[in-house]
Amino acid sequence: MAILFTAKVICGCLYGLIHEQFYNGGDTWAYFNDGLIVYESFPANWRDFAALTFGPNNVNASNNLMPYIDAMGFWNDTPAYMVVRLNAFFSLFSLGNYYINSLFFNFISFTGIIFLYRFFKSDHSSPPFWLFFIPSVLFWFSGAHKDALVLTGVGILVFGLKCAITSTRWKGLFLVLLGSMITYLIRDYLILLMLPGLIAFVWVNYSPSRIILKYLTVYLSSFIAASFIQVPDSELTFIDLFKHKQLQFLSLFPGDSQIVPPTLNYGWWSLIKAIPSGLLNSCFRPHAFEIDGVLQVASLLELMGIYLLFLYAVWKQKTNTILSSPTAILSILFFTSIMIMVGVVVPNIGAICRYRALAWPFLLTPLFTNKQSST
């Protein structure tokens, strides 16, 4: 535990240094700088600081707040502004030091890792902690960025659901609510991706026969429903959100490692056709001939290592053991859902490497757990 946390703190500092030196600061320093603007309002008027840190954003604010809002870049972006809020609050203790703020972010993301570990752990099995040393997991989730909060939200959510089913219901339901709120605030689409699996997980734990059939039934029913049910206050169906998200990414300023994403139109059939090429993007890029920068070299080496571990684990593990575990099946379906989403909508190799990092623990952990339990 101590070694993992120390490694995260070191990676958090490297994350800040690399982005400062090679990427003009990136989002992580932009969030920090906006947080400094909020923090510097504290000596002048603590009420302004409280309103900017704990009040609603993206609203018509009072005139005394406008100089601070005009100086910031993320007031209208609620997920990003959540990181700005945390930087402002942490700066009260760090006196506006990025690297000390990074330490606080690592406390948050380390909590997510603990909850995720406890989700996979049971009375009969424990996942090896080295799985959380996967380089992309360690690097991307150690930075002062939204990813740290996503890991925490997802970890709290899945452990809370398991807790609600197997032990203390009210504690579990509270954690489910908390984890869902954190995840939704930062990446709302993740909740939609996870929902079918979470519903099926509850079903198979209360009725543990024909596990695979129950999972398939819930996922197929969810896909059909998402193809026809419209998003509130929108003409889009939930399936159309894939195309909508892809357009949002394409509207961003193109990075150095921009790629052409799968052709995607509105409708369920277009999504199905885009899935194979999307999975090729998320599971196997960067290719050796398209490497651009040291981080992509590391990503390629990591991919090779992960798939060697995967093949070794499949060779050593009994397939029927994995397929009889609701937790293992849920994890593999989470991995697949995340990889489809990332591969279909993200048009940049660097961003693909970052967004898919959340999927790796869900692929490898159930395979390397010594003995799968019934939950």
Contact 325, 372 (CB under 8 A): yes
56 CB-near residues (< 8 Å, 6+ apart): none
Contact 144, 105 (CB under 8 A): yes
Torsion of CA 204, 206, 208, 210, to 10 degrees: -50
pLDDT tens, 266-318?
Answer: 999 999 999 999 999 999 988 888 777 777 888 899 999 999 988 888 787 66
Mean per-residue pLDDT over the chain, rounded: 90
pLDDT over threshold 80, residue 254: no
pLDDT at 314: 79
Q: Cβ-count burial of 213 within 10 angstroms (0-12 exposed, 13-18 middle, 19+ buried)?
A: exposed
> Which letter, b or e, does each residue of 184-209 get, where b requires 16 or more Cβ atoms within 10 Å of its Cβ?
bbbbebbbbbbebbbbbbbbbbeeee
pLDDT tens, 11-42?
Answer: 999 999 999 998 888 899 999 999 999 999 99
- Range in 16-25, 201-210, 246-255 with the lowest mean pLDDT: 246-255
Q: Cβ-count burial of 260 within 10 angstroms (0-12 exposed, 13-18 middle, 19+ buried)?
A: exposed
pLDDT over threshold 60, residue 375: no
Mean pLDDT of 202-210: 90
> For the whole prediction, is pTM greater than 0.85?
yes
pLDDT tens, 161-176?
Answer: 999 998 788 899 999 9
pLDDT over threshold 90, residue 221: yes
Question: How many residues can be counted in the chain?
Answer: 375
Half-sphere exposure of 355 (CA within 13 A, CB side): 25
Residue, of 185 and 254, whose pLDDT is higher: 185
